[in-house]
A and B are shown apart, each in its own frame.
Chain A
Amino acid sequence: MERRDFLKKCIMVIAGASVPLSALTLVDPKKVLAANPSIQWAFLVDTTKCVGCGFCVKACKTENDIPLNANVTRTWVERYVYTKDDRRYVDSPKGALDGYTDARIDLGKGEFKEIDKDNVGKAFFVPKLCNHCASPACTQVCPVGATYKADNGVVLVDRKWCIGCGYCIMACPYAARFFHPVLKVADKCTFCYHRLSKGLDSACVNACPFGARKMGNIHDKNDPITQIIMNERVGVLKDEFGTKPQAFYIGLAQEVR
């Protein structure tokens, strides 16, 4: 075979092999999504509406069988107090399970900080929970593949597979995971997966009398919650970690991380 023929045949083979590749049309994710409208849950916290009653924490713990008195919780409410002499205090006694019934700041270990009421500059409450990140750090570190992101965006833990090593608890930048003291596995907010799949609101959303907590399908443009996320000024926690959190906050302050 001559060199020229060899090269020609080579080119023919390559061209032939590439035909099936070109037959595959490039998939446009937007078109696929429009044809198969899927649910992608997102959370919206309006911190300006929260009064720190802690009904959400109580409802969450009751609904999901988290021991009430153990110092672990799937959701919690933080209190931020700024004084006029520019000091900043944050506390969350028992995750605000019983609300805030004391104007003193809980410093832990039984110590409290009295703040003169004339010295309070601004103060507010911030509910926190798992952000159900689009790119979660916790699911990547699991050595046994027990934690995963469901198709509808909810990050779940398979309690039968979890070995309780605690890697995911350390990996979460938001401290949203904890070790379940009874079941001895990693536990976290599930957006009340069982309630969502029954068409109910999650327990915390249901319990909030002030509408500070809401959930919506971020893949549905007409969803009122998606509308707020698209059109209003919302922020996420620790954006710099690149986890793409799916819990959006209205009225975030710089100190809230």
Chain B
Amino acid sequence: MYSYHRKSNEAEWANQPAKYGTTGREKLHEFCAECHGDVVKIRTEKLHGTIPCENCHGPVLNHPEKPEKLDVDRSRELCLRCHTNLPYTTSERKRIPGIDPKTHNTGAVCVSCHNPHNPSLEGMK
């Protein structure tokens, strides 16, 4: 098949700066643990251990130079992405405990009661 090729443009795309680091499933938390491993016990086991740090803490950009402090998303909406109760028994969603956002402590942010780094209901503060 014949088609155009803009060879010089490939480098332009390749040289764009990346915003997110690499905190995904493969290298989970390793990047953040380099500095924060002692301060915060970074959980890599079940429950929230599979969530990349940057999903809540925001893209790492050039942290720690710029920004010095990441803007953490503590909103109710963030938690509701996974923890809204949807009646889908055939999807993976069934594994995740869910609440009805219209009745469950409306207006309150989830992190005022739940600890996202230790989400087990038994150890609730």
Contact = CB atoms under 8 A, between A and B. Distances in A.
Given A51-B92, A145-B6, A210 B50 contact: yes
Contacts of B39: none
Interface string A119-158: 0111111000000000110011010011111100000101
Nearest to B14: A197
Contact of A63 (B19, B22, B96): B19
Nearest to B85: A103
Given A201-B24, A210-B92, A193 B14 contact: yes
B44 interface: no
Interface in A170-216: 190, 192-195, 197-198, 200-201, 203, 205-211
Nearest to A63: B19
Instruction: Please tell me the size bucket of the interface on B.
Output: 35 or more
A102 interface: yes
A145 B96 CA distance: 47
A171 B86 CA distance: 36
Contacts of B80: 99, 101
Looking at chain A's contact residues, is the secondary structure mostly helix, strand, loop, or mixed? loop
Query: Which among A48, A121, A156, A190 has the greatest number of chain B C-beta atoms within 10 A?
Result: A156
A54 interface: yes
B81 interface: yes
A200 B5 contact: no
B86 to A, nearest CB: 5
Contacts of A112: none
Query: Which among B9, B22, B52, B89 has the greatest number of chain A C-beta atoms within 10 A?
Result: B9
B86 A146 contact: no
Given A123-B90, A209-B55, A156 B96 contact: no
6 contacts: A55-B55, A62-B20, A140-B3, A145-B6, A206-B20, A206-B23
A136 B2 CA distance: 11
A50 interface: yes
Nearest to B80: A101
A118 B23 CA distance: 39
Nearest to B77: A98
Contacts of A147: 4
A90 interface: no
